[in-house]
Amino acid sequence: MTIQQVLYVLEIAARNSVSQAAQKLYLSQSALSQQLRRLEEELGYSLFSRTANGLQLTPEGQRFCDQAAPVAERWAEFSKSVQKRHTTEQLRLRLGIGSRVYSNDLFSQIIEYFDARPEIEVTFLTEAGQDVVEALRRGELDLALDRLPMEEPQSEAGDIFSCPLIRERQCVLVGANDSLAAREALAFRDLQGCTMISGLEDSAEDHSMRYMIRKHHISVNRVYRSDGIETSMRLVREGMGISFGPASFADYFRVRAVPLDPETWVSLQFICLQSSLKRPEISRFRDYLIELCRHRAE
């Protein structure tokens, strides 16, 4: 038995669900189920039984949790005490901020979080179209709040940790006077012969646009490129072309966001190196954002 297994059981018991506990613990459901099964085999009895209302503790499981709770509290106190940094040490974070942070009105709450933690010195990096995954690998960022590149092999790289914060429907962004603006939804075939607005060549925005064009066989008339989202959205507003983006861009950038059909979804993600999760200032900020976005969605 490990302390981690004990903490897993307490999390499952608190949520009556392996899947919800796995999400909170940033584990796959199968990995958490396997840890629970191994522990039950070692103990020689079942900790949970399945009911119509989800998982419920067995009598043995209830006794286990009653005795485990104070152990978990002491473990948390111990972990905090041995990880405590000297109060004079200045922590530094380089935080990449994507446009979805602003369009979803998260930035002010991020500022409030760091205002309450003067020991952390934060640098916000908002370079348009930067490839946050490569910036993390090169050590130029400590973490990022953005969407992942759309190419699946890169997005699923083993050295990168990511978790979704806000899930939004992907839309076609058009100007208010564009003929497409009156449509309730757009299929990819409706975009044939269009003019696209994108980031600089080989930027993350450009890679994502080209990925969508290749995947859905869209024939493009031409592409306008810009190194700033404000300029790109101005081009869209003035009817110079269309772009892809989330629904939240509509009000924020004063454009029309027409949903794609079939539905396509993209998430604002918390992204960092797997190794960076060992840093308490990063893992605590992650937990804050997850809880903040969860409450906003309710």
pLDDT digit string (tens) for 214-271? 988 999 999 999 888 899 999 999 999 999 999 999 999 999 999 999 998 989 999 9
200, pLDDT greater than 50: yes
Q: Are 282 and 143 in contact (CB under 8 A)?
A: yes
* Domain locations in the chain as residue ranges: 3-83, 91-166+267-297, 168-265
Report the C-alpha gap between 147 and 119 in whole angstroms: 28
Whole-structure pTM value: 0.67
275, pLDDT greater than 60: yes
Dig out the tokens for 249 from the structure: 């861009």
Confidence of residue 295 (pLDDT cuts 50, 70, 90): confident
The superfamily CATH assigns to domain 91-166+267-297 is Periplasmic binding protein-like II (3.40.190.10)
Task: Tell me which CATH code domain 3-83 carries.
Answer: 1.10.10.10
Report the C-alpha gap between 174 and 26 in whole angstroms: 37
Overall average pLDDT of the 8-17 stretch: 92
Q: Which of 122, 121, 146 is nearest to 136 (CA)?
A: 146
Helix axes 18-25, 3-15, angle to 10 degrees: 120
Report the C-alpha gap between 206 and 204 in whole angstroms: 5
| Per-residue pLDDT, 184 | 95
Q: Are 281 and 236 in contact (CB under 8 A)?
A: no
**Ramachandran assignment for 241, one of left (phi > 0), alpha (psi -120 to 50 degrees), beta (any other):** left
Report the C-alpha gap between 298 and 196 in whole angstroms: 35
Residues written for the chain: 298
Segment 145-162, tens digit of pLDDT:
998 876 544 444 578 899
Class of domain 168-265: alpha beta
Domains 91-166+267-297 and 168-265 share a fold: yes
